[in-house]
Amino acid sequence: MPGFFSFSVVLKPVPFLLAALLLTAAQPTQTTSARLIPFHKGDKWGYADQSRRIVLPLRFDEAGPFVQEIAWVRIGSLYGYIDGGGNAVTPVQFGRASTFHHNRATVELNGETFDIDASGNRLATPPEPEPESEFLTQGDLTRQSGKVGFRFTIGQAVVPPLYDEIQENYDGLLFVRQGTKWGVINNKGKLTLPLDYDAIRAVEANGFVHAIVEQQGRFGYLDTDGRLLVAPKYSAAEPFLAAVARVTTPDGRTGYIDSRGREFFE
């Protein structure tokens, strides 16, 4: 898997295989559908449409999601980039390659690491720093007898001070903890996900925010309404990029799911 991915705010330290960064300022959750999704069959990868019909042939040893109409692919031990028509944007020559983010991607060539633009040209200017998170934009924390509650600024919803910790998600959700277990409350103050989970993590990637949940060492995804999109069943789960997310099953199979939770691998 290529390196350089940048993500997320951890609400409880867990061993995700992702680099943790501060969550960016409020962004809508991504709900659009990807036009092409990496598809894994046998030992080869290609790309399928929403009907799981193969559009770009199974000729890669690994394939990444299309972001800004560009995707990384691997042949052997080297990476390159293709466009939505399967045409080469760069040669397959990099030792490492990241997904595009803010119109740039990070690559490694001959031991040197640098960024390229969407045409494959090397960039001399450094990327702009990510803005720091602004927490509790939806209201105010309340405290009583060592417990925490929440009062929403918009509407009349009040969460009573019953929790040990409350973290904000920018889709109008609150992640709440009692003891070691986490749950979810929506902006009407209703508990939409019970306090049964070991961790809930808000993850930002390419301007979109999703939440990954953990339960007994397995990972799944939270939907925008605060309920489960995919129940925890994967041994690894990465953020959604361009409406697809990379997952690994407990038996070691790697593939992608779409924003409806459908799997695009055998």
Whole-number Å distance between alpha carbons of 186 and 234: 25
Is 170 inside any structural domain?
A: no
pLDDT tens figures, 20-49: 322 333 333 344 567 899 999 999 999 999
pLDDT value of residue 15:
36
* DSSP symbols for 139-167: EEEEEETTEEEEEESSSS-EEEEEESEEE
Judged on CB neighbours under 10 Å (0-12, 13-18, 19+), 192 is middle
pLDDT value of residue 137:
67
pLDDT value of residue 203:
79
Is 29 inside any structural domain?
A: no
pLDDT value of residue 171:
73
Range of the domain at 63: 37-123
pLDDT value of residue 139:
84
pLDDT value of residue 149:
92
Is 132 inside any structural domain?
A: no
pLDDT value of residue 28:
38
Whole-number Å distance between alpha carbons of 30 and 240: 8
Is 45 inside any structural domain?
A: yes
pLDDT value of residue 18:
31
Neighbour-count burial for 140-159, b at 16+ CB within 10 Å, e otherwise: eeeeeeeebbbebeeeebeb
pLDDT value of residue 154:
78
In contact, 38 and 264? CB cutoff 8 Å: yes
Q: In the sheet where 122-123 sits, what is the strand order?
A: 96-97, 105-109, 112-116, 122-123
Mean pLDDT in runs of 10 for the chain (266 residues)? Answer: 43 34 34 79 94 95 93 97 96 96 92 95 82 57 90 85 87 90 93 96 73 96 93 95 92 94 91
pLDDT value of residue 152:
85
Is 87 inside any structural domain?
A: yes
Is 50 inside any structural domain?
A: yes
Q: How many residues does the chain have?
A: 266
Number of domains in the chain: 1
Is 80 inside any structural domain?
A: yes
Is 56 inside any structural domain?
A: yes
Pick from 142, 79, 156, 88: which is nearest to 113 by CA?
A: 79
